[in-house]
Structure 1
Amino acid sequence: MPSAPQAIRPVWSRRPRILGMVFLTLTLAGCLIGGLTLRDYSSFQSYQFKQTPGLGFCGDIDRVFSAEISRDADGAMTFAHSILTVAGRDPTQCAGGVAAEQGCLRATAQATRQLSQQEADRVAAVFSNVKFHKNPDPICRELAVDPCLIERHSWGDTELSDYICGADRIGDEQKAQLRTLLTDLRFGG
């Protein structure tokens, strides 16, 4: 007896093909979107943050410019950071600084301090759930993107940035969480 025409074959005989197509579609969608990867950096020994120039530099004097959090052998954490300050009003006279609209900006180290247990717990909580993309944003295939500022976060030898066209990049939500943490630590909260 001849086999049934394709259109009236039972669904169960087409299931492997349908499941394969669904899997392939989801896999491709994950690659194109640049799915999130989750890492736990809460057991870090050294964390560093820094702002670096992209095209030009648009540093903000109201934010932490660079920071380091280190963990001592006993688990205590130390926080050191710098902010940008206006060193002079003339951006053309800016040797060793960054020329900006406000004038010549220079990194100014702030007092290093030991974090309280509550602050250390918050650092560990934020660092235990770091989400990042392994691939550049798909828009980078179509456009050239050159930001004025790139924020870099390092836990030991692992570095993540907010550069949209880079691999291992944090998204806006994670960037906001890390910025809020550093700002709160700057002001002792």
Structure 2
Amino acid sequence: MNWKVILASAAGIAVVAIPSCMRSQAEQAALFAQVEDTTTDDRLSENWSYRDQVDEMRKETTRVASIKAEGYVPMSPELFVLRDVSQSPVIGIRGSLDEATAPQMRCLDGSLNIKFDDGPIKKVGCMMGMAVGIDPVIFPQLKKSKSAIIEIETSLGNSMQYKFRTANLKI
């Protein structure tokens, strides 16, 4: 099975597809990838923020949609969806990487819980990187949903729930 490593920083989000047997080596190599934020277009949706990221080396553009969790939480988590040139979705969640005192999100057992609208709680696969990658199998439900609640473990040993208003995803 191939995974996509998600690298997140203040400069943007980079995604690198890797086979599962090469995961740790590819994560290190992907740190050198340069990805640049170029534009923000908030007119497409009232909840989602959109931007294009340009990979200057490969001359490819990736469309990114992101949304902040509702309410005040110490980590200011953000849910994001990327669509690269292959059009396969990449979904992830990241917290504030700037605050040394904030608990960091973790994917310790390889899964997290997610609930769309009033549906059942689903356990989906995830992978740790500089952000937590979420199995793209949930993409169709994410596009149709009005809200999502994600429950994920933190570095403090507890789990936290984050609610997102996911309506009108245009990616």
TM-score with structure 2 setting the length = 0.30
- Which structure would you say has the larger RCO, counting Cα contacts within 8 Å and 6 or more residues apart? 1
Larger helix share, 1 or 2 = 1
Higher relative strand content: 2
Report the structure number with the largest CA radius of gyration.
Answer: 1
